[in-house]
Amino acid sequence: MPKLQRYVELLSRHPTATNLDRATQLESALNQQALTADDQVKIEGLFPTASAQIRKVSRSQRLEANLGKGDCKEFLALHTTIGKHLKQFREHRLRRQTFAISMAWYRCGQCLLHHFQRLKSQQGFLDFNDLEWQTYRLLNRSQHVEWIQYKLDQRIDHLLVDELQDTNPTQWRLLLPLLKEMAAGNTQRRRSVFIVGDEKQSIYGFRRADPGLFNTAQEWLTNHVGATVLTQDKSRRPSSAIVQFVNLVFGNEHKRAETSSGSDHYGNEFELRNFRDHSTYHEQRWGRVELLPLIRWAQPSCVEVPTQLRTPLRQPRTVKEDERYREEGRLVANKISALIGQTIDDDGVRPLDYDDIMILLRDRTHAAAL
């Protein structure tokens, strides 16, 4: 601790109220035979600001007068060096703390799941996840895998899977053994596989749906059974405005535009593989797409990091209420009010009414705020 001791000595020679208080706290900590965790946290707190940046100390005439030019330069260098070391130490401490809290949650979660599974087993219950997992084990890991797959294969001539974009990896592993049996079977037997899907319509992320599996299935069927790929990119439902927006979001216009301009950086976060621009049978149907401004979260100036685990049954968690959903609800309500009564051309000119409006949400968690 020589550098820290030297820093305390120089700090005491510049006797402002703040410096003397810091010097006293640092000297008290240094006099301990072994620093406790609380002592370390106190030392850390003397250097960073509320935003976790190193507190700046600038050269001044008074500082030079108290320390002298040489010691003043040494003091500023020590402040910067010690501050950086303490900032790194703080980051490592917080990482260890996060790891400890995460491990505690994992252990708690494992015990909870074990207890939940035991209760279901005692009562003879199976939930949807159990059905998926147990079927997967039966078709892939049981002692009778080959016999089960053979028996199923004998009973299936035609396999139709709809909405494949909402399939999760476990479900795909249920389908794959059946597909493999069909691909390896008698070529004289009249059999068929028909899979329908649209990556843009994947809405079951909460069930681990992976829309990329649609391309995986397409490639597998093409390579193993010579499947034919049919595409449908003309819709009978939406207006031209909706279709144009879909093309803008999921298409590769960004790539074509930026490539033609000579930019090296291009791409679209939502670009879909093998996407072709869509069109509609209702080119004259009324429609409009408008993006409302994003409601941003106002971050608190200082976030208090807990130093120990909280007992939820005894100590409530204090959190700042998130007003974004309520603000978004007001924004949507105001937009609806402005739309009501406007003229639309929907198989005839008429004013827009509340019956024409539907609000679609990713989930219903914050629906009450809307």
pLDDT tens, residue by residue, 114-149: 999 999 999 999 999 999 999 999 999 888 898 998
Residues of the chain with pLDDT under 50: 259, 263-266
Q: Is the distance from CB of 170 to CB of 132 less than 8 angstroms?
A: yes
Q: What predicted TM-score, i.e. pTM, was given to this entire model?
A: 0.63
Question: Which residues in 305-365 belong to E strands, given as ranges?
Answer: 343-345, 349-351
SS3 at position 127: coil
CA-only gyration radius of the chain, Å: 32
| Residue 37: predicted pLDDT | 67
Gap between the Cα atoms of 184 and 199, Å rounded: 29
Give per-residue pLDDT as tens, 305-315: 666 778 888 88
Token readout for 352 is 């827009």
pLDDT in the model for residue 52: 60
Angstrom distance (rounded) from CA 146 to CA 141: 10
Which tokens in the block code for residue 344? Answer: 């639309």
Q: What is the pLDDT of residue 253?
A: 61
Contact between residue 193 and residue 202 where contact means Cβ atoms under 8 Å apart: no
The structural domains of the chain, ordered by start, are 2-102 (no CATH), 128-219 (3.40.50.300), 231-291 (no CATH), 308-370 (no CATH)
Q: Which letter does DSSP use for residue 293 in this model?
A: P
DSSP character string of 71-139: HHHHHHHHHHHHHHHHHHHHHHHHHHHHHHHHHHHHHHHHHHHHHHHHHHHHHT---HHHHHHHHHHHH
Tokens representing 98 are 């996060």
What pLDDT score was predicted for residue 53? 67
What digits encode the pLDDT tens for the residues 270-298? 677 778 899 999 888 888 899 988 888 77
User: What is the total residue count of the chain?
Assistant: 370
**Cα separation, 259 vs 288, whole angstroms:** 29
Whether the Cβ atoms of residue 240 and residue 283 lie closer than 8 Å to each other: yes
Q: What whole-number distance in Å separates Cα of residue 253 and Cα of residue 176?
A: 35
Of 350, 332, 331, nearest to 342 (Cα)?
350
Three-state SS at 158 = strand
Q: How far apart are the C-alpha atoms of 179 and 153, rounded to whole Å?
A: 9
